[in-house]
Amino acid sequence: MTAATGPAIEIAGLCKTYRSRSGDRPVLDGLDLTVPAGTVTALLGPNGAGKTTTVGVLSTLLAPDAGTVRVAGHDVTTDAGAVRAAIGVTGQITAVDELLTGTENLRLMAALHHLGRAEGRRRTAELLDRLALAEAADTPVATWSGGMKRKLDLAMTLVGTPSVVFLDEPTTGLDPRSRRALWDEVRRLVADGTTILLTTQYLEEADRLADDVAVLHEGRIVARGAPDELKAVHDAGTLDDVFLALTAPPADQEDPR
Amino acid sequence: MSAVTAPATASAGPRPLADVATMLRRSLLRAVRYPGLTVFLVAGPLVMLLLFVHVFGGAFGAGVAPGVTPGAEGRAAYLDYITPTLLVLTVVGGATSVATSAAMDAAGGIMARFRTMAIAPGSVLSGQVLGFTVQALAALVLLLGAAVATGYRPDAGVAGWFAVVGLLVLLSLALNWLCVAMGLHARSVETASNLPMILLLLPFLGSGFVPVDTMPGAVRWFAEHQPFTPVIETLRGLLTGTGTETAVVQAVAWCLVIGVAGYLWARSLFRRERRL
């Protein structure tokens, strides 16, 4: 379905500062990142490193202060509409309508993608089935568990068959079974040619899912590579060790061990 | 550096009308799922109808219409006097709910989701505004029913009724846009209805419950120059068949000013970057 000739995501020199009356807080400080089409890249980093801000810029919710950001070949600043047509976003806050049922939420997305009635119904049924939500589909989402809402959130993201998908901590708070179901879905999407950028706190998730890992620290990418490469380069047994070594706060770095 | 092509299933190009219709459908579906809100819209004005007409009305009626004796005659006169006010309060109540609903969308992730989709940006808020106007109309029918059941007999003709409905719809759209903006301006869902609450007070500080010429100087000046007075006077005139043209022009002008200002404010708040 996708015919990618360039990278799906290209970020060069991205800077972003949150400005407020209580002072400016720089979050991204010259971030560079390229994600080839059809791959899964995991963005790792400690809390506050700028992962969510990066996803915010990529998904056109935040305007970059400096640098160029292209998604699916389109510039997020000058061609936001084309970027939006190509992407699907599952943010950190679950973005579902709690008063509606699962089916109604998915049909709402189908209508907004102008899929047409029959195709909308087909796509809704398919996604409900794929994410194992069919049983609860016609009950209001307010009565669902957090894990089910999360899966519906992902299903809503996929209704429009996006070529680039951003998942911001998609499995936070999910039980192991739901997490596996979500991983399976990610693998299926990549097999279909979708590009995925996911942020996560779970390094096991990055290790299992990602072709590539990018470690974000203090607003820049400090390491990049396949999980095994990173482990080898940093002479570490697990991604946890790599992560801790790369993202140590300054005080720890001065502390001789 | 050519693009990853868009999926073939989605039709190309923006379709604002289709998107507004979809968002309106969502708003109405939410109203059906949560009918308590529409009932709540009627509850306030309904309690006022019973209290102000059937408890206080016997005395109040004699105060608002010359030559009316206290008691049953007073109650009938006061029912005529405040039914238009209660219609306006019902519309204001609907607008208060839009603020809460918009704040809920903004606090949950769904508004951010809509903003990352290739849809007409205006459809997100328009759907809410139109949806709550439809809900307000449903509440207005219920309230008028209750007024008629307790003895209200308006004198408006067919053209008069069209004008009444038209002005109420215009007022509802205008206040809904203003309140959507207030809801987005609020920092939380809990505080979203604080600013719109001020609107609920305005009919009391106008010709809603007593004639403005009975009020002391400064209050009277305010009552004569605030938007709800001409709106209520126009509705009262239309429903009793004795309107003044000045009030009509002022009422429509106020609605247009409030609506346009509310729309522009809401649009700028919707476009504003929200910290993630």
Q: Which of these, B58, B47, B259, lies nearest to B169 by C-alpha position?
A: B259
Of B5, B6, B22, the CB nearest to A108: B22
- In-domain check, residue A188: yes
- In-domain check, residue A178: yes
Q: Which of A92, A97, A138 to mutate to test the interface with B (most CBs of B within 10 A)?
A: A97
Q: Is B10 an interface residue toward A (CB < 8 Å)?
A: yes
Q: Which of B4, B15, B187 to mutate to test the interface with A (most CBs of A within 10 A)?
A: B4
- In-domain check, residue A224: yes
CA nearest to B107 within chain A = A93
Farthest CA pair distance, chain A: 65
Q: Is B30 an interface residue toward A (CB < 8 Å)?
A: yes
- In-domain check, residue A235: yes
Q: Is B16 an interface residue toward A (CB < 8 Å)?
A: no
Q: Is B80 an interface residue toward A (CB < 8 Å)?
A: no
Of B4, B11, B26, the CB nearest to A72: B4
- In-domain check, residue A190: yes
Q: Which of A1, A62, A114, A199 to mutate to test the interface with B (most CBs of B within 10 A)?
A: A114
- In-domain check, residue A172: yes
Which of chain B's residues have a Cβ under 8 Å away from the Cβ of A82?
3
Provide the domain count of chain A: 1
CATH number for A17: 3.40.50.300
A164-168: strand order across its sheet:
A87-90, A164-168, A195-199, A40-44, A212-217, A220-225
pLDDT of chain A, 257 residues: tens digit per residue: 444 468 999 999 999 998 888 888 889 999 999 999 999 999 998 888 899 999 999 999 999 999 999 999 999 999 999 999 999 999 988 999 999 999 999 999 999 999 999 999 999 999 999 999 999 999 999 999 988 999 999 999 999 999 999 999 988 878 888 888 889 999 999 999 999 999 988 888 888 899 999 999 989 999 898 888 888 877 777 777 888 888 877 654 444 44
3-state secondary structure at position B162:
helix
Of B4, B29, B33, the CB nearest to A86: B4
- In-domain check, residue A138: no
- Residue-wise pLDDT for B81-104, tens only, equals 999 999 999 999 999 999 999 999
- pLDDT at A1 (0 to 100): 43
Q: Range of A48's domain?
A: 9-91+165-247
